[in-house]
Amino acid sequence: MSELSFSELVDRVIAAERPILLTHTRPDGDTVGSCAALASLFDAMGRSPIVVSPDPIPRRLAFLTEGGWFAPVKEYPADATVIAVDVASPQQLGSLQSVFSGALAPSFMIDHHERGVAFAPRYLRADAAAVGEIVYDLALELVNRGVLPAIPPAAVNAVFASISSDSGCFKYSNVTPRTHRIAASLIELGADAPEINRLLFDVKSAECLRAEGYVASHVLSTPDGKIAWVLVTDAIRDQLGLLDEHFETAIDVVRSLEGVEIAMTVKESPDGKYKVSLRSTGLDVAKVAATLGGGGHARAAGCSLSTDTAEEAAAITVKAVLDAMGA
Ligand SMILES: [Mn+2]
């Protein structure tokens, strides 16, 4: 699969008459925000964009779907231009893999995952904190080329949300001076930063708070306390009357524990596998995840394991982390 230059990306965006934007599974603020921003740009260009997600958009991100571009799967015109946004590998398209195949296979990808698997011509910028940084440059270029008179307000806010979301409110190691410069420009353009950050980070449902409470009191760790994890199985969710989506911030609770260098969550998935998420303060966990068939970023990665129990999945991952640490 070819790698696209930035100007090739811009050309392809301008040429997309019937754009369909795809988010990744378990959509986060970056994939949703970037899709919303791109949809807003396409809308301003007089196209009729559609955004499709393999999984429901979490309620806390609903404010990003107000443009009305997010739609369920339906029949699509064969001449659609399908664009995968923030999707690192074909598996991350989930149920959309079979829908968007053949004539409707993705035309190109816009991504920032260093260790992804390209499934279409790809524009990749691994040093971007979020795909939103790329969408920002794209929006500017559309204005520069005279395709748009200005960046639409909805795109300004959605790009800001995407960057803030993937950078943990400008807190993670993926944040660069450029990330802050882009955010500053977006605020100058009218982004409602306090409200977007409040919606993304300060507002939690009662269910999410209860999930965090469970996680906080069930953290397991290695004797030295450097590796910590929590197990979230169907049985636990049933017992608490909670859904998988309520455990979205579980990893943040685990990583907040003093002394933890590697935080993990092990979550039972509907497919019967165990989805492991990893966060690190230094170790390259993308490499660890890659040894287990997964991938991601150096300090935020994941994999999916076919073990019999969550405990086994945790043990395998802890061993892989210890091996990587040279312990
Ligand atoms: Mn992202």
pLDDT tens for residues 177-200?
Answer: 999 999 999 999 999 999 999 999
CA of 86 to the centre of ligand 1 (A): 5
Q: What is the pTM of this model?
A: 0.85
Ligand 1 centroid–CA 296 distance in Å is 10
What does residue 243 show for φ and ψ, rounded to 5 degrees?
-110, 165
pLDDT score recorded for residue 296 = 86
Q: How far is the CA of 223 from the centre of ligand 1 (A)?
A: 33
Give the integer Cα–Cα distance in Å for 125 and 122: 10
Give the distance (Å) from ligand 1 centre to CA of residue 224: 32
CA 32 to ligand 1 centroid distance, Å: 9
Expressed in angstroms and rounded, the spacing between residue 30 Cα and the centre of ligand 1 is: 5
Report whether 267 contacts 246 (CB < 8 A): no
Using the mean position of ligand 1's atoms as its centre, give its distance from the Cα of residue 97 in Å. 19
How confident is the model over 192-246, as pLDDT tens digits? 999 999 999 999 999 999 999 999 999 999 999 999 999 999 999 999 999 998 9
pLDDT for 297? 85
Ligand 1 center from residue 235 Cα (angstroms): 30
* Residue spans in the chain of domains classed CATH 3.90.1640.10: 6-202
CA 165 – ligand 1 centroid, Å? 9
Residues of the chain with CATH 3.10.310.30: 206-325
Determine the distance from the C-alpha atom of residue 103 to the mean position of all C-alpha atoms in its chain, rounded to a whole number: 26
Per-residue model confidence (pLDDT) at position 166: 96
- Tokens of residue 151, six digits: 């960046």
Q: 172 with 129: CB under 8 angstroms?
A: yes
Considering only the top CATH level, what class is 6-202?
A: alpha beta
Give pLDDT < 70 ranges for the chain: none
Beta strand ranges found along 155-261 (DSSP E): 220-221, 227-232
User: Yes or no: is domain 206-325 CATH 3.40.50.2000?
Assistant: no
- Cα(66) to centroid(ligand 1), Å: 20
C-alpha 35 to ligand 1 mean position (Å): 11
Give, as one character, the DSSP assignment of residue 298: S
